[in-house]
Chains A and B, each alone.
Chain A
Amino acid sequence: MRKATLLSLFSSLFLLSGCWDQTQLNETKLVRAAGFDYIKNGKIKNTASVPQSINTEAGGVGQVNNQVFYAVGNTARQSRIKLDRKISEQVDASKNLIVILGENAAEHDIYHILDVFYRDPKSALNARIAVAKGKASDVISSKFEETETTVGIGQYLNESVRSAEKASIVPTENIQTICPVMFDPGQDFGLPYLVPEKNDVSVNGIAIFHGYKMVGKIYGAQGVMYTLLTGKQKHLSMSLTKKITDKHKDRILNYVSIKVKKNKRTFNVNVSPDDKISAHIKLDMKVVITEYPRDNLTTKKKIQNIEKALSKRLTKDANTILHDLQDMNSDAFGVGRKLIAFHNPTWKKLDWNKEYPNIDYTASVNVKVIGHGIIE
């Protein structure tokens, strides 16, 4: 009997209790893409894309109505709150897909903006993050063709970046994965760089960061080399097209296209007795030739020639990237990290920001052809 009383007491507790923390899905507006820009007076402009599906008779997702809202505030959170006031229902960013930083915002401290994401227990830390050329509000816009056919702007931008990641043009990052690297004094990172064009947005390269700030860009095809240098093992389509000779008049015959099947990175950081730091990245690639109009890959020698030419060419590319990075003072591959881990006393002595541009930093690429498609 007593148990029954206890049980009924408890169940009445259930009924009495309101539903304090409920957030009904149908009473919220979901932000699917968020953009941040600094405007002239130092305030932050927040752009949010809120897709609203137009309910059809049959149910399911019919057409999507892309709504884009703007708000300006002193901080990221304040601008979000102002945004909330403009939108009819409660704004919820927990299903955010991508965060776009305007170029001027990225050149400031990005952590100041991202803090709101890290602090909020409901925020989507798995959202992608990218830098836009010019303003973020130019990228989050419904003027692009594909936003109509895919499900909203957020989805469109997200898919574009994802396909670029698959092609290894940009590194795979999200808000959470950049966080430890951002804090790390011994390592930096890169983010996808989006360029708005007339009818679409193209992923045009990598925005290079140092600490919390963007310091430069790497364009186009060099992105693949950058990704290879990060030591990424393999991916669906890690393809490169490289010029290996100048001999032929017919331009197309000078080129060879390869697909990287396997990529092995050896990363050595050495400190000489007089505290000279040298770093060397060695890549061993196994590749498949996907395009070689001259054909006749019959003899071993011919293949070796191609291998040699490719290795030379790629080594040059890799070194260019390393030099660029040194010039930008961005330690994207983590030489400093290696120093912290294995040469801790040396690390403690030096000022890495000053030291890094002057270290001996080289790369070498060794290519091995393991296949050539179904013709020789």
Chain B
Amino acid sequence: MTFFKKPRKLLEQKNTSNEDKIQESSPSSQTDSVNTSHSLQDANSKQNQSIDDLLKDIEKSFSSSEDLMTHWIEMPADKSRVALIFLNSIIDKQKLQDLILNPLFELDKDIDLHTFEKVINIDFKQQTDFSKIQELILQSYTLIFTKDTTCYYSVFTPVKTERDIKEPDNEAVIRGSHEGFIESMSTNIALIRKRLKSPKLVVKYLQVGKETHTNVAMLYMSDIANPDVLHEVERRIKAIEADSVMTPGNIEESIEDKTFSLFPQTLSTERPDRVAANLMEGRVALLYDSSPTVNLAPVNFFVFYQTPDDYNKRWMLGSFYRMIRLFSFYIAIGLPAFYIAIVSFHFEVIPSALILLMKSSLENIPYPPLFEALVMELTIELIREAAIRLPTRIGSTIAIVGGLVIGDAVVKAGLISNLMIIVVATTAIAAYTVPSNEMSLAVRLLRFPFMVAAATFGFLGIVFGLILMFFHLCRLYSFGTPYFAPLAPFKIGDLKDTIIRLPFFKMNSRPSDITPIKKDEDNHTRKWDKS
């Protein structure tokens, strides 16, 4: 306790600090008082208790957790005793010292806490609601109790446990901002605010999880986002009833329209620029406590294929690569299936010049093509999974060993045909071109049913598979907006930023599938060219 400088003698140490679970701080203030269910039983009766009883009650309600600390200090003005109570593990003691103790003792001797609040500190507030004691302590507040038990004071003293702002690993871009979200919600909001300096950007805090008290921030543009959508998102989040909501995934699963679908219905991203751009289209962003992931909703299928890179390229290049990415969707789900269908059902369609080449490569393979494909696809997935778990340096080794050595050996051993290696490798690469990780996973899983369908019914199986998949996409909704939007329902105007990317000045209206209340985008950037 070396950092308590001057008034050390006045502090009474009750416990040595136990640094256990560090809880994340939050800017959440008085506005949202979600129930603190098993808090101090009869909150109002406490006002009449003596300060000692009150402290004992608080201690009891925290099950005498050893990191709950109480300090007694003596006010310089009237020598009255004042109690400071806080969770040792989640407050910044330096801050406590700087914000309360030092000013308190350096100031005029006559000052009492009540005037202190008015004079000095914005973080210093008088509280009268005793039911919120527990919640405030859990959110890194230090509470100050005086003789006067009708009110108490709170100071926000969170411990800083943030990492630096870095570029997200799985959403890297070549040109453009290299900032990414971190585990602090306030920093994340700051990153978005930095990009959207508009009073219309609204932040709304919600809390989920009866025990975890996870904070969720809902961000939207008040003049663009449709109130119906906002209401729907809020309604669904508020409807979550669970003891613990640990990861964004929990919330995602709780609020999406169809959980029994492979396709992600909210867009997860760690890029502030992506969030800002989507907010401007009228979407809602959900930020979570201690999570760098931000979810965007409502989304459509094509949002998963956009990347900030597209907008930093010349528009024709942007369109070209967008189309490549969409084409990769078909390759990733269909190529192995198509290959299987051809070699085991319809080899008539192979052109004459190629048939002997294909036949000779397949000639001595002992397994049917479906088995071949399954083995190789699963091997690729194994390599991928292993590469994620291993440290980066070993990861690349695994990729080389897996990719090159296994691939080569398997062909040499005559287990798998070299054509199958080509097909599987192309498919794997195609699946990785999707800018969104969730969609990439969905696509990777989708190809297995297609392979089985192709092995049983040839082209017919693939066609029926595609019909089922596209119909599923047609009947899927994301927060009440059609998921496969500008294609089904078809809106030719909205194709400008889905399959292709038109120049910036052509994007004069927002996509209509998310029903923004302000359609016009006012991108008249080339007015100088008009005369």
Closest chain B residue to A4 by CB distance? Answer: B260
Asked if B364 contacts A55 (CB within 8 A), the reply is yes
Asked if A64 contacts B348 (CB within 8 A), the reply is no
Proximity bits, A24-52, B CB within 8 Å = 1, else 0: 11101010000000000000000000010
Residues of chain A within 8 A of B350, CB atoms compared: 95
Residues of chain B within 8 A of A3, CB atoms compared: 260
Answer yes or no: A94 CB below 8 A from chain B CBs: yes
Answer yes or no: A374 CB below 8 A from chain B CBs: no
Asked if B456 contacts A19 (CB within 8 A), the reply is yes
Q: How far is the CB of B103 from chain A (nearest CB, A)?
A: 62
With A25-B343, A59-B418 as given contacts, are A64 and B452 in contact (CB-CB < 8 Å)? Answer: no
Q: How far is the CB of B462 from chain A (nearest CB, A)?
A: 13
Asked if B344 contacts A60 (CB within 8 A), the reply is no
With A14-B453, A15-B452, A59-B411 as given contacts, are A22 and B356 in contact (CB-CB < 8 Å)? Answer: no
Residues of chain B within 8 A of A97, CB atoms compared: 352
Residues of chain B within 8 A of A22, CB atoms compared: 344-345, 368, 455
User: Which single member of A17, A19, A61, A155 contacts B344 (CB below 8 Å)?
Assistant: A19
Residues of chain B within 8 A of A61, CB atoms compared: 356-357, 360
Closest chain A residue to B414 by CB distance? Answer: A55
Q: How far is the CB of A54 from chain B (nearest CB, A)?
A: 8
Q: How far is the CB of B364 from chain A (nearest CB, A)?
A: 7
Closest chain B residue to A92 by CB distance? Answer: B347
Q: How far is the CB of B373 from chain A (nearest CB, A)?
A: 13
Closest chain B residue to A127 by CB distance? Answer: B352
Closest chain A residue to B460 by CB distance? Answer: A21
Answer yes or no: B359 CB below 8 A from chain A CBs: yes
Tell me which residues from 454 to 480 in chain B have a Cβ below 8 Å from any Cβ of chain A. Answer: 455-456, 458
Asked if B355 contacts A26 (CB within 8 A), the reply is no
Answer yes or no: A151 CB below 8 A from chain B CBs: yes
Answer yes or no: B361 CB below 8 A from chain A CBs: yes
Answer yes or no: A237 CB below 8 A from chain B CBs: no
A158 vs B368: C-alpha distance when bound (angstroms)? 32
A61 vs B358: C-alpha distance when bound (angstroms)? 9
Asked if B456 contacts A95 (CB within 8 A), the reply is no
Answer yes or no: A124 CB below 8 A from chain B CBs: yes
Tell me which residues from 60 to 119 in chain A have a Cβ below 8 Å from any Cβ of chain B. Answer: 60-62, 64, 94-95, 97
Asked if A26 contacts B359 (CB within 8 A), the reply is yes
Asked if A60 contacts B361 (CB within 8 A), the reply is yes
With A122-B348, A124-B348 as given contacts, are A25 and B362 in contact (CB-CB < 8 Å)? Answer: yes
Asked if A53 contacts B348 (CB within 8 A), the reply is no
Asked if B343 contacts A24 (CB within 8 A), the reply is yes
Answer yes or no: A296 CB below 8 A from chain B CBs: no
Answer yes or no: A186 CB below 8 A from chain B CBs: no
Asked if B356 contacts A53 (CB within 8 A), the reply is yes
Proximity bits, B286-327, A CB within 8 Å = 1, else 0: 000000000000000000000000000000000000000000
A51 vs B352: C-alpha distance when bound (angstroms)? 13
Answer yes or no: A334 CB below 8 A from chain B CBs: no
Asked if A30 contacts B359 (CB within 8 A), the reply is yes
User: Which single member of A11, A15, A23, A26 contacts B365 (CB below 8 Å)?
Assistant: A26
With A3-B260, A19-B344, A59-B411 as given contacts, are A152 and B362 in contact (CB-CB < 8 Å)? Answer: no
Closest chain A residue to B455 by CB distance? Answer: A19
Asked if B344 contacts A25 (CB within 8 A), the reply is yes
Interface centre among B343, B344, B418 (most CB of A within 10 A): B344
Answer yes or no: B282 CB below 8 A from chain A CBs: no
Asked if B361 contacts A59 (CB within 8 A), the reply is yes
Q: How far is the CB of B185 from chain A (nearest CB, A)?
A: 37
A275 vs B363: C-alpha distance when bound (angstroms)? 65
Closest chain A residue to B361 by CB distance? Answer: A59
Closest chain A residue to B260 by CB distance? Answer: A4
Residues of chain A within 8 A of B357, CB atoms compared: 60-61
Answer yes or no: B369 CB below 8 A from chain A CBs: yes
User: Which single member of A14, A26, A51 contacts B363 (CB below 8 Å)?
Assistant: A26
Asked if A55 contacts B363 (CB within 8 A), the reply is yes
Asked if B355 contacts A95 (CB within 8 A), the reply is yes
User: Which single member of A21, A51, A94, A155 contacts B347 (CB below 8 Å)?
Assistant: A94
Tell me which residues from 352 to 408 in chain B have a Cβ below 8 Å from any Cβ of chain A. Answer: 352, 355-365, 368-369
Q: How far is the CB of A121 from chain B (nearest CB, A)?
A: 10
Asked if B345 contacts A23 (CB within 8 A), the reply is yes
A274 vs B270: C-alpha distance when bound (angstroms)? 92
Q: How far is the CB of A5 from chain B (nearest CB, A)?
A: 12
A24 vs B455: C-alpha distance when bound (angstroms)? 11
Residues of chain A within 8 A of B355, CB atoms compared: 30, 95
Tell me which residues from 118 to 168 in chain A have a Cβ below 8 Å from any Cβ of chain B. Answer: 122, 124, 151-152, 155, 158
Interface centre among A4, A19, A151 (most CB of B within 10 A): A19
Q: How far is the CB of A11 from chain B (nearest CB, A)?
A: 8
Residues of chain A within 8 A of B356, CB atoms compared: 30, 51, 53, 61, 64, 151-152
Residues of chain A within 8 A of B345, CB atoms compared: 21-23
Asked if B344 contacts A95 (CB within 8 A), the reply is no
Q: How far is the CB of A220 from chain B (nearest CB, A)?
A: 29
Asked if A21 contacts B458 (CB within 8 A), the reply is yes
Closest chain A residue to B418 by CB distance? Answer: A59
Residues of chain A within 8 A of B418, CB atoms compared: 59
A32 vs B453: C-alpha distance when bound (angstroms)? 30
User: Which single member of B260, B344, B449 contacts A23 (CB below 8 Å)?
Assistant: B344
Asked if B360 contacts A60 (CB within 8 A), the reply is yes
A97 vs B368: C-alpha distance when bound (angstroms)? 27
A21 vs B459: C-alpha distance when bound (angstroms)? 12
Closest chain A residue to B419 by CB distance? Answer: A59
A151 vs B352: C-alpha distance when bound (angstroms)? 11
Q: How far is the CB of A65 from chain B (nearest CB, A)?
A: 11
Tell me which residues from 325 to 375 in chain A have a Cβ below 8 Å from any Cβ of chain B. Answer: none
Asked if A24 contacts B368 (CB within 8 A), the reply is yes
Asked if B452 contacts A94 (CB within 8 A), the reply is no
A152 vs B355: C-alpha distance when bound (angstroms)? 12
User: Which single member of A11, A15, A23, A25 contacts B359 (CB below 8 Å)?
Assistant: A25
Residues of chain A within 8 A of B260, CB atoms compared: 3-4
A53 vs B345: C-alpha distance when bound (angstroms)? 21
Q: How far is the CB of B172 from chain A (nearest CB, A)?
A: 36
Residues of chain A within 8 A of B363, CB atoms compared: 26, 53, 55
Q: How far is the CB of A81 from chain B (nearest CB, A)?
A: 20
Residues of chain B within 8 A of A151, CB atoms compared: 356
Q: How far is the CB of A279 from chain B (nearest CB, A)?
A: 39
Residues of chain B within 8 A of A30, CB atoms compared: 355-356, 359
Residues of chain B within 8 A of A122, CB atoms compared: 348
Q: How far is the CB of B360 from chain A (nearest CB, A)?
A: 4
Q: How far is the CB of B420 from chain A (nearest CB, A)?
A: 12
A22 vs B371: C-alpha distance when bound (angstroms)? 14
A122 vs B361: C-alpha distance when bound (angstroms)? 23
A22 vs B348: C-alpha distance when bound (angstroms)? 13
Q: How far is the CB of B66 from chain A (nearest CB, A)?
A: 47
Residues of chain B within 8 A of A4, CB atoms compared: 260
Q: How far is the CB of A22 from chain B (nearest CB, A)?
A: 5
With A14-B452, A14-B453, A19-B455 as given contacts, are A95 and B360 in contact (CB-CB < 8 Å)? Answer: no
Beyond A64-B356, A95-B347, list 8 extra A-B contacts (CB 8 Å): A11-B449, A17-B456, A23-B345, A25-B347, A60-B360, A61-B357, A94-B348, A152-B356
A-B pairs, 10 with minimum CB distance: A53-B360, A26-B362, A94-B348, A25-B343, A25-B347, A22-B344, A59-B418, A95-B355, A61-B357, A24-B344
B positions within 8 Å CB-CB of A: 260, 343-345, 347-348, 350, 352, 355-365, 368-369, 411, 418, 449, 452-453, 455-456, 458
5 contacts between A and B (CB under 8 A): A14-B456, A22-B344, A25-B358, A53-B363, A55-B363
